[in-house]
Every structure is written in C-alpha cells, then in structure tokens.
Structure 1
Amino acid sequence: MAQGVQEGEPPPSRWLTAQARQARTAVAGAVGAGLADAGLVVAQAALIAGLLEAVVVAGRPPGELAAGFAALAGVFLARAGCTWARAAAGAEAARRITAAVRRRLYRHVAALGPARAAAFHSGDVASALVEQVEALEGFYAHYLPQTVLATAVPLALIAVVAALDPIAGGLLLLAAPLVPLFMALVGMSAGRLAQRQQRSFARISAHFLDRLRGLTTLRLFRATERAAASVEQAADEYRSRSMAVLRIAFLSSAVLELISALAVALVAIYIGFSLLGYLDFGPGPELGLRNGLLILLLAPEVFLPLRRLGQHYHDRASAVGAAEEITRVLRTPLPEAEAPPPRAAPPARDPQTDLPLPSPVPVAYRGVRVAFDGGEAAALQGVDLEVEAGERVVICGPSGAGKSTLLHLAAGFLAPSAGRVEVGGAPPPGAGGVAWLGQQPWLFHGSVRENLALADPQAGDGRLWQALGAADLQEAVAALPQGLETPLGEGGYGLSGGQASRLALARAVLFGAPVLLLDEPTAGLDPASARRVLDAVRRLAAGRRTVLMVAHDPQLHAWGDRRVVLEAGRVAEDRRA
C-alpha cells in the first residue's frame, strides 16, 4: 500500500489556511469591502467633526450645511453597501471552500473503499462530512478576512491619528498590540478545548448512531433505558465541553473590551485636557475642535477590527477542532494508483428483455500476499488462483482464513501487499466492473425504482420489471402497495432478507458486470429464501458471469463448479465439484 500525499497533510491551522486558495477571489472581495469600509470610516469621522466645528465654533446654521449632511448620508449608505458586500463575499467563500472540502472527503472515502474505510466508525465519517465541514464556515466567512483587516485597518487609522497628533497616535500604538497578545494567550486554551469539543461531538454522533441501528436488539434485551442513559451521559459531556469553550470565548471578549476601553479613555483624557488648555506640551494645544473630535471618533475604530477578530476567534477554535477530525480521515493513505483499466465496450442486450448480456472474464491471483497494519500474520500468503471465465467458485474455510479478503481484492477494495490480481486481464475491478452482494445488501431509504436506478439510471419500467423477473422478485414487487414506487427504509426495511438480497441481484442484472462477488449471500435466510437467492444467482451466471462466492454453510460447498478451501491465508484445497 502506497504512502500517499494524505499522510503529509499539514497541521490543522495550516491546512485551514491552505484551503482558502480555492476561493481567493471571494476572500479578497471580503477583505476589499472591509478596507473600503475603513476608508469610509475616516471620511465619516471627518465629516462629522467638520459639521460640529461649523455649528459650534463658526456658529453656522444647519441649513447652510446641507451639502455636508448630504455627503454624510452618502457615506452612511456606502458603508451599508460595504457591509453587505463583505458579508456576501465571506458567505460565498465559505460556500465554495466547504463544498470543495466535502467533495474531497467524499472522493477520499470512496477511494478508500469499504475495507479501508472500516477503520473509521460510520458515525465519525458522517460527522466529518456534515457537522465538521459546516464548522469551517465561520472561519472562512468571518475570521480569515478579519485577520487581514485586524492588521491593516488599525495601522492605517493609527497613521491618520498620528498625522494629526503624534502623542495620541503613540498611545494607540502602544495599546493596540496588547489585544492580539491577550487573544493569543486566551486562544491557546480555547483551541485545546475546541478540539476536545469536536472530538466529543464525533463520539456522540457515533454513539447515537450505534444505539439507533441497534434499537431492535436493545428492545429485545430490554436495554433501552440503559442505552438512553448512556446517550444522555454522552450528551451531557458534550454540553459541559461546549460551555467550557463558551466561557473562554466570553473571557477573551471581556479582555478585548477592557483593553480597548482603557486605551480610548487615555486618548480621550489627553484630547480633553489639551482642548481645555491644561496641557501645554506637544501639538495638543494647537489641535482645535475639528481635529480633536476626529481623533476621538477614530480611536474606538482602531480597536473595532481587533474586537471583531476576538468575537470570531471561537470560529477559528471550532474550525481547528473540525479540521483535526477532517484531516484524520484525509491522512489515511490511499492504495497505489493503478493504470486505469481499458474501457469496455457496452455489453450486448437481450432483444427480448433489453437486459445486458455480459461476456464472462477470468479472475487471477498471482503470488498474492496481503498484510494489514498491526496484524500478527498475513491475511493472505502466496495465493495463486486462476478462475476461468464463466466459472462458479465457492470459497470456504474457517473464520479468519482470508475468504472475504480474496473478494475484496477482486472488487478493488484492497490492494495486495505483494503479487498481482487481474480481472479480465486488467487490475480490479476490470474493464467491465464487478457486482457485489454481501450478507446485508445495501439498500438506501427511497423507492424500489430509485434503488434499482443506481445500476442503470436510464432504465425504463420495462427493463426494471425484466430485471426483477430475472432475480425472481417480480411478483413480490408487484404485490407491494405502490409497486416500483413503494418506499423502502434504510437497509431495505419493508422487505424480507431474501427479498432484499434478490433486489440487490436485480441491481446487478441491470449493471451488467461480468463478475459477481457474493459474500455469504444466504446468511441469516431461511432455507426457502436461501434456495430462491441461489437459484436466481445460477440463472444470472448461466455462462454470462464469473461467480466467486464465500460460504460457511457446508450445504453450499457443492453449489459451484469448483471449491477452494483457504486455511491460514493459503489455498489448502482446490478441486472441482
């Protein structure tokens, strides 16, 4: 197994910043709107100070200042437009980036395949795809643009103040760095707590999903009250961790407010005493009302970007915690990239049923060895096996002998540690693909038609009914209340186990794959249902498909044309029926 670039995923904070490249224009738009708003703040303060000086000092009536008031109203409207543009650009950046991250996660999990993805709990993966990705939105919509504004805007405003009065500018310059300093001190604790909170959320998601899936079993064993208590305990743990994060967030906001209030108060005292004539040093006595008011109006604006950054700091803490969970999935290495299999020609179709008529292909295992991380022994060791085109092979042996691993290799879910697997002369899943049927066929919440359409989205009613007939399910579906439109629950809820297996077979018929992989397809079925499933598989094979079936039941060992016995990862017996 190759060590792909996923293992080189950067730390969460750097990974978050790197994703911003996918929406540079939108992020730049949010920053640009914020900078434009800062320029308008200066214009607004200058207009207000000028109007007050004209009224108070010059004694001009308000009616003579209509142009100034009109300009001030225009600035207000322009600032409202900048605020809207900034919010819209930030939301667009968050939408693009979260959509890209979610697509990457989907592709990564799909590339891992069922065997490798089994290392993660399905609740953890679902949480990463939904809640953890959504937790990134605030980082890109608010925090990331604000980091630029929190640096550029205060420096620009301090420069304007310093041009009017160097002492007032110096006071602001001394106080401003204290804000990020205390934010960093508080933020280190907040980041650790947020990561624990996100891990707690992932655990509670997995915990709740486990209990939900096992609800029937819990009822049978009268353990629903204990299960509910465990969910309540997990939820209470998440609540306490969330409150701890909020306490830190409120503490950081209080620190910011205190520092900014003290700094503005110092500037106000200096300006006030200068205007009253109590200070006779520096440019204070020469300020005048207009410049003094302008400095007083700009002083709070110096700290406003920093305060906003503090308000959104919890977005960063949440995003870092979410990124930790997301990158944990992305760091899982993918198998070595094989050359893409040759494109298979579309299979011929039966002129009467319009169903695919695939041509069977051979399956070959050549010196195959499979070893898992942490395993004491190899799952497969030196397996050489040639399965002829159209052959039906039953694979048996004790638990842990490597039977399912053999099927996973043919499906392309696993890559061999050594040796080579070929399906139709190409790497798995081969040019024509494979069809898989496990112990519990995967049927999703939707109608019968929607479950079948996964294999052939263009299939009409006629082809769907023919596929159901080939799988010996036509009568059962016709007897359902809404026929093809009958809704099914997740996992095929609403059908019996045998009917669910045959519906999966009907999907395989529509797909037209030349290789059919069966992993205990009759497990848990009564004898009549198991016989109908096997009869349907036999009809599907009929010289058109190569079949590999794992079977524990001794009564199935003679079902195929050939029986292969595995023991301790090696072929112990290979004989024809």
Structure 2
Amino acid sequence: MPVADEPRGGERAAGRWLLDQARQARPAMAATVGAGLADTVLVVLQALLIAWVIDQAVIRATPLAELWGALALLAAVFAARAGATWARAAAGARAAWVITAAVRRRLYRHIAALGPVRLQGHHSGAVASALVEQVEALEGYYAHYLPQMVLAVVAPLVFIALITGVDLLAGLLLLIAAPLVPLFMALVGMGAARLSRRQQQSLARISAHFLDRLRGLATLRIFRATDAAAEAVEGAAEEYRRRSLSVLRVAFLSSAALELIAAISIALVAIYVGFSLLGYLHFGPGPELGLFAGLFILLLAPEVFFPLRRLAQHYHDRAAAVGAAAEILELLEDPLPAADEPAPAAPGPVRRDPQTDLPVPDPRPLGFHRVTVAFPGAEAPALDGLELHIPAGQRVVISGPSGAGKSTLLHLAAGFLRPDTGRVTIGESAPAAGAVAWVGQRPWLFHGSVRENLQLADPGADDRRLRAALRHADLDGVIAALPEGLDTPLGEDAYGLSGGQASRLALARALLSGAPVLLLDEPTAGLDPDSRERVLAAVARLADGRRTVLMVAHDRDTHDWGDRHLVIEAGRCVEDRRA
C-alpha cells in the first residue's frame, strides 16, 4: 500500500472498529435512537397543533374558549419533547459509559498481557494517555454522533415526505437542498479526521514528554537543565495548542457553512410560501396553499435541517473518536504471545502456618528446555538453546556480564516473555501469575499506605498476617516506628523509605503472595553492606526450603549466598557451581 494511502486506510479501520464497539451497548443505543424518533413524531404533532390553532384563531375566528383543549395538548407535547430530550441524553450517556468502560477494560487487559518487556516499545506516558484521554475521546461519538447519524437520515426524510404531501414544490426544494449538508460534511471530514489524529498523537507525545521530565527532575537539576526542559515542555504544549486550534477551526468553519446552506434553503421555502399566500404565484400548487398548510410547511422546514445541523455539530466528536481509536488500535494490535503452553493448573487450597497465618507454599521445580530468545535487530540471540533445571526449593544465584541474558531468563520465568523455541515450566505448567513473585532492583511501591502496598499481594490479610510478614522481612520495627504504623502513607516509588527498607517491604509483599517461586533482580544493588546483609537474611527466611529462588546478582559477595551459582555468557550457561 502506498504511504499516502496509509492514513486513509487507518481511518477506515478505526471507523470500522468504532462501529464494532457499538454492539456492546445495543439496548442503550436503541433507546437513544428511539427517544430521538419519538421527538420526531412530537415535532410533527407540535407543528400541526400550532398551525391549526393559528388558522382557527385568525382565519376562522374561533373563540379562545374553544381552543383551550388544543392549547393544553400543545403544552403536553412541549413537556413530552422535554422528556424525550432528557431520555435521549441519558440513554446516550449510558451507551457511551458502557462502551468506554469495556474498551478501557480490554485495553488494560491487553497491556497487562503484553507485560513490561513487550511494552518497552511504547512510552508509559503514551500508554497512560491511551487509557485515559483517548478512551474518553470516544464518549461523544457514542453519546451523540452515532445516534444522530441515524436520526439525520430518518427525520429529514419523514419531514420532507410530509411537506411534499402538502405541497410538492416546497418538498422538492427541500429535497434538493438537504443532501448538500452531508455532502459538505463528507468533504470537510476528510481533513478533520487527519487533523484530529495528529492532535491525539500530539497529546500522547506531550504526556510522555512531561512524564519523562518529571521522573528525571533530579537529574535535570544536577545538570542545570531545568530551564531547557521547561522550554521543551512549553514547546510540546504549544504544538498541542496549535493542533487543537486547527481541529476547532475546521469545526467552526464547517458549522458556519452548513448554517448558511440551511438558512438559504429555509429562506427559499419561506419566500415560496409567502408569495403563494399573498397570491403572487400562479403556478403549481401555490394558488391553493392556505394558512394552515403554509404554517405547517414553515414550521417543519427548519426541522428538516435541524438533525443535519446537529450531526454537523457532533462531527468533531467523530473526528476525535477516529483519531483516538487509531492510537488505541496501535496498542491493541501489538500481538500477544502465542498461548501454546498448557494452561496452568488451578491453585489448590492455601496452607497456612498456624502461628503466623502466613501462606506455606509447596516449592516447585523450574525448567528451561532448550530455550532460545532473539530480539528484533539484535546480532545474536539473548538466550541460545539454554537447558537448565532447578530443583524445587533450591536457591540459585545467576551472574554474568551485561547483555548476557540474565534478565531475559528472569522475564521468561515470570511469564513476561515467551521463548522463540523451547519451553519454560514451573512444575508441569507454563509460568503464570500466582506461581511467581518478583522483587526488582528498584521494587515498585505504589502511592498509598504501607498496608495498601502489602495487601496488593493478599487483599484479605489482617494486621496479624501483615505484621508477621514484616517480621520475616526484618522490617516490623521500622514500620512500628513510623507515625501511623501500617497506615503511614508512602510516596510513589517508595518515597519515605530507604532502598534497603523498600526491598524488604517488597519481600514481605512477596511472602504474602504465597508464590512458590521467587525471582529477584539484583535486590542488593546500591545497598550498603548492612542493608545488603539484612535483605539477604530476609530472602533466606522467605525461602527456607519452601520456595525456589532465582536471583540475579553482580555483587561478588552475593555469589556464594545460594545453593548454586550459575554464570551466563552470550545466552549460554558457561559455569554451574554448587555450594
């Protein structure tokens, strides 16, 4: 496909995807359209009543007392129209909520299934933007544009048919003018969708740009680069402003042009009806046109264009949704790993220590069976036919030069990666959530209390179980000394704790998970000797023959900590030394 055709093809794919999502809220979408059609019927009844009342009062000199029934019915129609408008808005909001919630769930699950390794090709700021702003950009499409697209076809045809039944010439005038509105919208929409997608891409870039600078604020201050970073953020914001104004400019100009078409068309009909009533026209059905029929036509003529004008007003919702959908699809189309491994067995009942109430898992063996992993663009595979068996309950330390494949080994064991060839097993099954616990070099602790961070692994854990886990991690005294104990709030990325304390809190969380395999990625890196010894002692208590431990460590003092020391070089195990 030529490069010039790619944006159009992407827009068509995004449009089809948007329509497919609407099936998830069919009842709410049908209710939205139904309320709009009910309003269409009420508009006709309203025009009939107004024309009849004026005709009776002016032409037939009917006393006001005889018109109260018609006026009361007209008031009821007004109230019914208000109710239909409310019902339509409520049903549209419900449809948008159902669909955007489903899209956000699907997108989040897809991101979770991709895992941290496959997501490295996407910036976290852009991913966050897709989950929040770009999903929210779909709301207007489902709440307003899609139902209005149906009404913009049905309602004008109903009105034109009724007007044609009253006066053929007036109906033909409207029939010729009405299609000009969607035709012009289609011409404008070709550029509006592209502008909107560029706006969404700019939003994703500014989100990623700002998040990068925020995370690296300390580095920027050290190198006196804060002013340059602020200017870069300002430049990205200015680009987003320009692209947003481009989208709004197209929306406003298109609305003005469509209003002009509608105004000219209604004016032509009004001139025709006025001249007919004054007796200046002596051809066609004009001479026979009465006040009742003329008023009915004049009242319905603007309603022919009103659904089309509303569609034009919401056309920017479509443009925004198409642009957002293209960005969302870019994430959703990132292929998931093939599920060619046997499904993990359902976990059995959790055994617990009667004294501490902590989980007591059954250790499982870990196997790498002729595993090869190659990354795109790499000169050599990260792992090359690796054959490795780790018995249940064994503590294994892995070392080797940078780029040797150590982290890839851990990612395979965690299920973040699938091997290109060979297979990885924990027991008899493929790696899966619940079978492994992970503690990295910089364990991630969420913004929240100590309790909330621990209960991430065991939502039902009470204070007794939480304190027992902290005691095993040699952290109970530290947490008890905090101002609010377990309820002490922590900042994002373990702000409020030292590096060693954060590692031990992550180990306590791993203990609560009850996972039989513990994966550690340099948990002692950057720690002073005392903190390192505390972390290693906590890991030893955590393992205690009940967990299989796989730890990557560069520190030579840590190499002899385990039952076994493996050296990985160029994707192969070149040394296997047992304690």
Q: 1:44 aligns with which of 46, 52, 58?
A: 46
Contact 2:395–2:564 under 8 Å retained in 1: yes
- How many Å separate the matches in 1 of 2:99 and 2:262? 33
Residue 421 of structure 2 is matched in structure 1 by 418
SS of the residue corresponding to residue 552 of structure 1 reads coil
Q: Which moved more, 1:405-414 or 1:109-118?
A: 109-118
Tell me if 1:402 matches 2:395: no
Residue 213 of structure 1 is matched in structure 2 by 215
Residue type at the aligned position of 2:327? E
Q: When the two structures are aligned, how many residues end up with a matched partner?
A: 569
TM-score scaled by structure 1?
0.97
Q: 1:25 aligns with which of 11, 24, 27?
A: 27
Tell me if 1:64 matches 2:66: yes
TM-score scaled by structure 2?
0.96
1:79-94 equivalent positions in 2, closer than 5 A: 79-94=81-96
Q: Which moved more, 1:306-315 or 1:263-272?
A: 263-272
Residue 427 of structure 1 is matched in structure 2 by 430
Post-superposition CA distance 1:281-304 (Å, at most 9, x none): 111111111001100111110000
1:507-522 equivalent positions in 2, closer than 5 A: 507-522=509-524
Post-superposition CA distance 1:396-441 (Å, at most 9, x none): 11111111110111111111111010101211138x6111000111
Q: 2:244 aligns with which of 238, 242, 245?
A: 242
Structure 1 residue 122: Cα displacement? 0.9
- How many Å separate the matches in 1 of 2:378 and 2:282? 82
- How many Å separate the matches in 1 of 2:544 and 2:93? 57
SS of the residue corresponding to residue 413 of structure 1 reads coil
Residue 3 of structure 1 is matched in structure 2 by none
Contact 1:347–1:359 under 8 Å retained in 2: no
Tell me if 1:367 matches 2:370: yes
Residue 130 of structure 1 is matched in structure 2 by 132
Q: Which moved more, 1:530-539 or 1:195-204?
A: 530-539
Contact 2:11–2:322 under 8 Å retained in 1: no
Post-superposition CA distance 1:46-75 (Å, at most 9, x none): 111111111111122323210111111011
Residue 304 of structure 1 is matched in structure 2 by 306
Contact 1:9–1:327 under 8 Å retained in 2: no
- How many Å separate the matches in 2 of 1:72 and 1:532? 82
1:247-266 equivalent positions in 2, closer than 5 A: 247-266=249-268
Post-superposition CA distance 1:533-562 (Å, at most 9, x none): 111111211211111111122222222111
- How many Å separate the matches in 2 of 1:339 and 1:35? 52
Residue type at the aligned position of 1:487? P
Contact 1:436–1:517 under 8 Å retained in 2: yes
- How many Å separate the matches in 1 of 2:131 and 2:268? 49
Alpha carbons of structure 1 residues 9 and 534: separation in structure 2 relative to 1, 3 Å: farther
Give identity over the alignment, percent: 70
Contact 1:27–1:145 under 8 Å retained in 2: yes
- How many Å separate the matches in 2 of 1:200 and 1:528? 48
SS of the residue corresponding to residue 384 of structure 2 reads strand
- How many Å separate the matches in 1 of 2:364 and 2:572? 24
Tell me if 1:284 matches 2:286: yes
1:151-166 equivalent positions in 2, closer than 5 A: 151-166=153-168
SS of the residue corresponding to residue 375 of structure 1 reads coil
- How many Å separate the matches in 1 of 2:127 and 2:493? 18
SS of the residue corresponding to residue 118 of structure 1 reads helix
- How many Å separate the matches in 2 of 1:286 and 1:10? 50
- How many Å separate the matches in 2 of 1:374 and 1:161? 68
Q: Which moved more, 1:441-450 or 1:10-19?
A: 10-19
Q: 1:267 aligns with which of 259, 266, 269?
A: 269
Alpha carbons of structure 1 residues 57 and 224: separation in structure 2 relative to 1, 3 Å: same
- How many Å separate the matches in 1 of 2:242 and 2:21? 31
Contact 1:443–1:491 under 8 Å retained in 2: yes
Residue type at the aligned position of 1:414? L
- How many Å separate the matches in 2 of 1:105 and 1:508? 27
Structure 1 residue 198: Cα displacement? 0.3
Residue 493 of structure 2 is matched in structure 1 by 491
- How many Å separate the matches in 1 of 2:37 and 2:557? 77
- How many Å separate the matches in 1 of 2:44 and 2:235? 53
SS of the residue corresponding to residue 222 of structure 1 reads coil
Contact 1:168–1:270 under 8 Å retained in 2: yes
Structure 1 residue 10: Cα displacement? 7.7
Residue 447 of structure 1 is matched in structure 2 by 449
Residue 191 of structure 2 is matched in structure 1 by 189
Post-superposition CA distance 1:318-363 (Å, at most 9, x none): 1111111111110011111243211232342222211112221110
Residue type at the aligned position of 2:351? A
Residue type at the aligned position of 1:79? R
1:467-486 equivalent positions in 2, closer than 5 A: 467-486=469-488
- How many Å separate the matches in 1 of 2:209 and 2:116? 20
Residue 99 of structure 1 is matched in structure 2 by 101
- How many Å separate the matches in 2 of 1:347 and 1:301? 67
- How many Å separate the matches in 2 of 1:379 and 1:73? 77
Tell me if 1:339 matches 2:335: no
- How many Å separate the matches in 2 of 1:143 and 1:541? 58
Structure 2: gaps (5+ residues): 1-9
Structure 1 residue 221: Cα displacement? 2.3
Residue 223 of structure 1 is matched in structure 2 by 225
Residue 355 of structure 2 is matched in structure 1 by 352
Residue type at the aligned position of 1:563? H
- How many Å separate the matches in 1 of 2:327 and 2:558? 44
Contact 2:372–2:422 under 8 Å retained in 1: yes
Post-superposition CA distance 1:67-122 (Å, at most 9, x none): 11111101100100100000000000001000000110111111111111222111
Residue type at the aligned position of 1:293? L
- How many Å separate the matches in 1 of 2:371 and 2:212? 35
Residue type at the aligned position of 2:222? L
Question: What's the RMSD between the two structures over aligned residues?
Answer: 1.4
